[in-house]
Structure 1
Amino acid sequence: MAQDEDIDRSNSPFAEPRYHYFLQTILLYNEYLDTKNGSYNTTNLRVLQPIGNKAWNLRFDLPLISTNSNSINQTGLGDVGAGVSFIPYFKKNNGIGLRTRVISNSAADPSFGTGKWVVIPAGIFAKYFNHKRFLWFATLEHSQSFAGSSNRSDISVTLLENNLLWFFGKNWIATDVAFRYNYILEGFQNNAFMEFGRKITPTNLVYVHPSVAFGGEKSYNFGMEVGMLILF
């Protein structure tokens, strides 16, 4: 159905502004993470560009990283990423998406990145409930390193994430729980967040979400993300 030019994409859950796949999208966000070794701050510019019949889109991420450890402040470019998504099936109330991303070993400093090239395939299921007042996004993805510095740890992590959004007026509230197993560390690096968002215009949105990590091998303690989306 995604191949049919006559389908009204505005009815698809993949057209929901917070996770829009069919319009050119700019997302600018800042995420602060508190870790046992200091703070880790990411300012990221993400661009989504639909191509072809708009069942496909390209994604680019340009992160700027700041770290604060032992009273030493550092800032520089993080690992740049790119990806492609394809939506093979969607209709008014549900749909399926496929995505593959590649994260490059491009950080300006070893502390700003993983030191590895990483490929991240994913499958996504989205479904509306209760006359589109609720939207469920479920994601299963795996991150696997395939090249990079031999002095850095390999990456092999599987993620199962469930995100439920509740819409009311121009606002939304979301809850998210992500179960993440790290095969290298042989432990869980889970996290959960609450998100509060609002449309400030029909095509401009802002949101804030605090998060907390849990699990035996958690990578941070708590975090805060603030973002703005612009749709074209």
Structure 2
Amino acid sequence: MTKSTLNFCILFFISLASTAQESQNTNETAKTVYEEARYHYYLKTILLFNEYLDTDSGSYNTTQIRFLHPIGNKAWNLRVDLPLISTNTSSINKTGLGDVGAGISYIPYLDHKNGGVALRGRVISNSAVDPALGSGKWVFAPAVFFGKYLITNKLLWISSFENQSSFAGSSNRSRVSITSFENYFMYLFGKNWVAADAAFRYNDVNKGFPNNAFVEFGRKITPNDLAYIHPSVAFGNHKTYNFGIEVGMLILF
């Protein structure tokens, strides 16, 4: 994607990249290090994706719609996540609304040469229609991000640090306390991108390391629509799944 099309968050994350929107303001948009398809802050964005996860006891599928909306001078961003969860195990077969989440992100510093810093706060509600489809807790998740082009307009690196801690919810469910460190690398060429990501996590409740990694392949389909696919694998003790695959589309407007 050329400079004129670099208008993706944040897996990672702020999970988690280039405007596919053609822009006449080339010099201005070229300065925004976070303007990559999955870390997109500067346009209203709808992200639709489906993620399938294989676990030791069955499967776990999430179909999710995510809204991203810039606020004010566009250094601020509002995010809302609406997940539809489906489980398929030997003992549980459920489908319904999962834990709805909302967050606000802020970019205090951004420079095309030196990189940028972003801050995010998310609240994940205890809203699942069935205990099997959510954590049973209200969770607060603050995060900090650093992004920088390692090769100008070609290779983007975004690193993030996040903590998820429960502060309310069912007394019958385990508390949530997870710290994660994640690094995402994206290489852009033409209308396409390839990416790799590794997330290292520590779960203070079970003293486990539910880590995972994925590779991603994406393409600009139209000036305002991008599609991607990424297979993933989990590793570490107390991992939450074995392998998975996610397919998604971003609509920018």
Bucket of the pairwise TM-score, normalised by the shorter protein: over 0.9
Q: Secondary structure at the residue paired with 1:18?
A: helix
Percent of pairs identical after alignment? 64
AA of the residue aligned to 1:153: S
Aligned to 2:176: 155
Task: Please identify which structure carries the higher strand content.
Answer: 1
- Distance (Å, rounded) in 1 between the aligned partners of 2:208 and 2:91: 30
AA of the residue aligned to 1:50: P
Mean CA deviation greater in 15-24 or 155-164: 15-24
Aligned to 1:201: 222
Aligned to 1:219: 240
Name structure 2 gaps, 5 residues minimum.
Answer: 1-26
Match of 1:120 among 124, 141, 148: 141
Q: Secondary structure at the residue paired with 1:111?
A: helix
Instruction: Give a deviation string over 1:38-73, Cα, whole Å, max 9, x none.
Output: 100000000001111110010000000001011753
- Greater than 4 Å deviation, 4+ residue runs: none
The 3 A distance-change label for structure 1 pair 203 and 11 is farther
1:18 aligns with 2:38: yes
Tell me if structure 2 keeps the 8 A contact 1:9–1:22.
Answer: no
TM-score, with structure 2 as normaliser: 0.87
AA of the residue aligned to 1:198: R
Cα-Cα RMSD? 1.2
Name structure 1 gaps, 5 residues minimum.
Answer: 1-6
Match of 1:109 among 113, 130, 149: 130
AA of the residue aligned to 1:21: Y
Match of 2:60 among 29, 40, 43: 40
TM-score, with structure 1 as normaliser: 0.95
Paired residues, number: 226
- Distance (Å, rounded) in 1 between the aligned partners of 2:121 and 2:29: 22
Tell me if structure 2 keeps the 8 A contact 1:127–1:137.
Answer: yes
Aligned to 2:100: 80
Q: Secondary structure at the residue paired with 2:132?
A: helix
- Distance (Å, rounded) in 2 between the aligned partners of 1:108 and 1:160: 30
- Distance (Å, rounded) in 1 between the aligned partners of 2:106 and 2:35: 13
